[in-house]
Structure 1
């Protein structure tokens, strides 16, 4: 069997970046030779086995049960190779990766285990979740779909995980760690956010983007998206992926709920300025004209100073949504992302002029990125 130690074709030499995303390509350097022992170990990884037990699985078991479904992704533009990442087979055989891995691609190549290359077409992409779905031509039978974790409840902090992908072009690489944080809110285009993101201390480097982060029963808990520094990486959660990915596979797009507001998490100074008993909630800084929340929610219209800090005043503070409390921005963002769709009418509990009240309005659809 051909060794999986070889670089993805034309992958560039490593360059440290904050995002575990596209690796710029163009280098002709080859990967360093491995020992006969490591070559033999890679050759025995084989295709997918049945998911192994979370309680009894060794790290080798986890790797061998999943690596056959993990692919390298090469992005070709008009002038040739322009980036690479990772992906994995899911659903009915489509390939999941990050939107930023295939952004601007004229052609996409996939590298399956055993150095089997396939052409792929982009079925759908979504910049707001940084997810994309591809279809491989003549996908190898050994590359069977991985399953998502059960998200009710979601795996807790401390759950052992493994990230598999092609960091710096080294295909079939694995790193281990734990789920080190949940409910993270990451940046997305147009000042929006990616809700419900998973944090891990498993190493995520350039080229890992789009690959699976799996629990020790071989199920995908997140799609690797970016690295933030030593022992700090993030992925798109299974909960959000299970909403977005099927829509991309069937329709080529996904519609996100939209309030039409700009907001700020309540801090101690904001709580003092608004006379709030608790430091919790989200302040509406601005309500977009003609947006879904216009005429229902109020943005700020003044400012005051608290302990030398300028605080915007006059806006509504959202402290609940859909009957659930809102303590931090993630509470609001996660509910919108995981529980609602455009066109839904949602109730909000707000504090306005010192009094708590309930209002409701119909959610819209996020505008196209870049517009």
Structure 2
């Protein structure tokens, strides 16, 4: 356990995302609510990708009784001495996620594990695999069989290369034994372009967040073959990949991270705050309203999960030919629900 703690302390340098889209910077302080010491923090949603999550997290924190303001720091006693990325009120908390981890690997820069203190996993986006409504691929088994037999002729579409949609196809290819380097994938910056590519015959199948594809599914323009998470989406009659015999459980997750050299006392205070907020009914309601999957996991459990997620991401990027194949990975295996 001591080695693990020293390992995490060595990694704590403030998060520098490859996208330059920092979504949530927060100064942690404390104030008293009755006889209970509560953590205060400030949210600055300066990046679009994670802005909604940061705003929702602040709202759930306020509903849980914490002092949370958007745009400025809370006054009061800090949780510990200011560290790198900190403010006069305390520490900075950054909301980031899987795309930043993948970008760091692709750009050969420091990863989340190297540049931040893991605090808690917050939420995730369910991914879905879709085909045109008139596609001869009637179910996921048909798609998997074609991908395995003819990966170069199974044209795939989704978001930009190396981002979650591409990673999902890489995970599927690995799980069924297909050669990921032969997968023909085209990334598009916007979902609408992916829809157009799929419907015009430029792609056989596409992947993306369920939230982005719901309208096309609802209008009958595309059919969903499988969702990426371990549990079915309640209002969607679509099997999971696990039900289809593919050992993949995946979500485009978001999480909270602390700054470099975060003192243990400050980390413990921030983790306790995150645990209470992500376990609250307010956070569950916020996720439901936004169409996110709550993925509560905090503290050391989250740090250990993040180790495996980093290894899985590195491995699938290597399988897809996006990373040097000589790069080592220490393990394989992770899931969106912390199994």
Q: Same fold (TM over 0.5)?
A: no
**Please, what TM-score do these two structures have when normalized by structure 2?**
0.24
Which one has more relative contact order, counting CA pairs under 8 Å at least 6 apart? Answer: 2
Structure number with bigger Rg: 1
**Whose strand proportion is higher, 1 or 2?**
1
**Whose helix proportion is higher, 1 or 2?**
2
